[in-house]
Structure 1
């Protein structure tokens, strides 16, 4: 199996020159495509990584790796690109990215200092927390700053897609929420194991108030603008516990301002221009799916079938059969 080409200067593989095999796991008519390619996805991503930091095991895995401190933009860029590929990339890119992520996470193990228990980035509960905060944040920010709520039918399909996407991670399928009510129950149940520490607070400050990036003059002001809109979407108890609350007046300003910016950035050329300054590796994924030539096959694949075709195990089986 050919390996995907690394994007120059960034950390996630995606070969924009390789033809799309198919429409991926969901397809262009899915609510997942609409939600994950809206400009609100950038706000949602920042929201999700802030909320995720309340899990002490995830915080330990991120903090011990040190990559966020030394290359914040690169780490954010890589993470958002992975989720975007799963949402709208073709099935081959989705499987390749999934296998690479699992391999990268296999090296992220250690001891969580608060509990003294061992952590692993591939732990199914940690992966589920990341997965749900990402998918819920995207829908919430789409509703708040974008076009508004999905129809009942589309929302049901969105959460079904969320379950499908979880198959690419190490999540326990039986634990994946299947509706908005399930997500609320999941958050209520998970809250008892969340906490705030100096490490977590430090990471959140780094996410919300990143240092200026040499050679990237627009990254700092772009993320500062995102911060106000992001904080306005996070529960007040989290803001106070994490020490990143903001005045109610800023919350009030964030809503109309955020909606105006999202409307202005909705045309594809402006979406691509905006993402260039925040997560540039997302650009070729969006561009290929939304403006590229049609895929080689007009079909949507299940994760099981995609893995059979493009996963390491599937590729070896095909070579053996040949």
Structure 2
């Protein structure tokens, strides 16, 4: 083995196992749908990036950040966090109604992005058949406060379990709304631009993946968008089917895809560090645990 630094989480964490599951791609799209419902947050994205031209690059950079902070060395994770904080410090957005300028590194906005991601990862994983106990789910939310610190949040201000996450969404919902900017994001997610030879792939694969992610949104998110909410049982059937299909692809094939963070971690730490549901830790029940809605 080379550098045996386990990184921020290490092979004995819930995060290490969960983030290797292929349904995280579905969860990431669900997170984008959810994040776009915060008017100030989505305005910061639209006003500071041409995501219509580089949307795929943006998605891959986000996935690479999660991979680096999960499976990279501590130094690599800290470097990735410093880069993100530096970018955010330089960017701002303007409220068209008031003309007020604000920074995209506003802690309230960073917290929204974080919670929307963690809720999406947890919801999609569990509803697609990933075998997390309530205690493991709470431990995952708690572990992710380390990732929140990297983007500039005080871990003490970040939900440490499912119950706190539920309370956060209850508190923030009055600030959420569908806006012209959120419509731009959802239009992209519905039919992202691709070179014409890839159009059949978009029709066959992307539509199913994005539709499954959209179906997994909470009922209140569908209502804000003005969409009919699918029955919970129907959405869960779609998620279970997606989970079975994606998990049927052998790890050795999926992990070859760039940027290869998991393979790098296994090479660094040894074959016993390979992510697996069999390696999930068994923490005690979390003090802030609760039932997700």
Indicate the residue corresponding to 2:269 in structure 1: 294
Conserved in 2, the CA contact under 8 Å of 1:56 and 1:194? yes
- Residues 14-59 of structure 1: CA deviation (Å, up to 9, x unaligned): xxxxx65511011011101111111111111111111001111111
CA distance in 1, matches of 2:190, 2:4: 37
Q: CA deviation at 1:120?
A: 1.5
Task: Work out which of the residue numbers 107, 110, 113 in structure 2 matches 1:124.
Answer: 107
2:16 to 22, 33, 43: 33
Q: Give the distance between the partners of 1:57 and 1:142, measured in 2 at CA.
A: 28
Structure 1 unaligned residues grouped into runs of 5+: 1-18, 299-322
Map 1:98-177 → 2, pairs under 5 A = 98-150=81-133, 152=135, 154-177=136-159
Alignment correspondent of 2:276: none
SS at match of 2:93: strand
The gaps in structure 2 that reach 5 residues or longer are 274-293
What is the CA-CA distance between 1:180 and the residue it aligns to? 0.4
Of the candidates 209, 228, 234, which is equivalent to residue 191 of structure 2?
A: 209
Question: CA separation in 1, counterparts of 2:68 and 2:200?
Answer: 25
Task: Confirm or deny: 8 A CA contact 2:35 2:41 kept in the other structure.
Answer: yes
Report the number of matched residues.
268
Report the 3-state secondary structure (helix = DSSP H, G, I; strand = E; otherwise coil) of the residue aligned with 2:143: helix
Cα offsets for 1:271-290 (capped at 9, x unmatched): 236xx4xxx44xx112212x
Answering whether residue 243 of structure 2 is matched by residue 259 of structure 1, we say yes
Indicate how the Cα distance of structure 1 residues 162 and 58 shifts in structure 2: closer, same or farther if over 3 A, else same: same
**Is the contact between residue 146 and residue 262 of structure 1 (CA under 8 Å) also seen in structure 2?**
no
The offset of 1:136, in angstroms, is 1.8
Q: Tell me how far apart the structure 1 counterparts of residues 115 and 236 of structure 2 sit (CA, whole Å).
A: 27
Does structure 1 retain, via aligned residues, the 8 Å contact 2:127–2:240?
no
How far, CA to CA, are the matches of 1:222 and 1:117 in structure 2? Answer: 41
SS of the residue 1:195 aligns to:
coil
Q: C-alpha displacement at 1:186, in angstroms?
A: 0.2
RMSD (CA atoms)? 2.5
Mean Cα deviation higher: 102-111 or 184-193: 102-111
Q: Does 1:91 align with 2:67?
A: no
Question: Offset of 1:103 from its aligned partner?
Answer: 1.4
1:74 matched to 2:50: no
**Given that residues 37 and 286 in structure 1 are in contact (C-alpha distance below 8 angstroms), is that contact kept between their aligned partners in structure 2?**
yes
When residues 232 and 159 of structure 1 are mapped into structure 2, their CA distance, relative to the original with a 3 A threshold, is same
Distance 1:148 1:51, change over 3 A: same
Q: Is the 8 A contact 2:139 2:161 kept in 1?
A: no
2:205 corresponds, among 199, 222, 237, to 222
Relative to structure 1, is the Cα distance of residues 35 and 109 closer, same or farther in structure 2, using a 3 angstrom cutoff? same
> Shift in Å at residue 111 of structure 1?
0.6
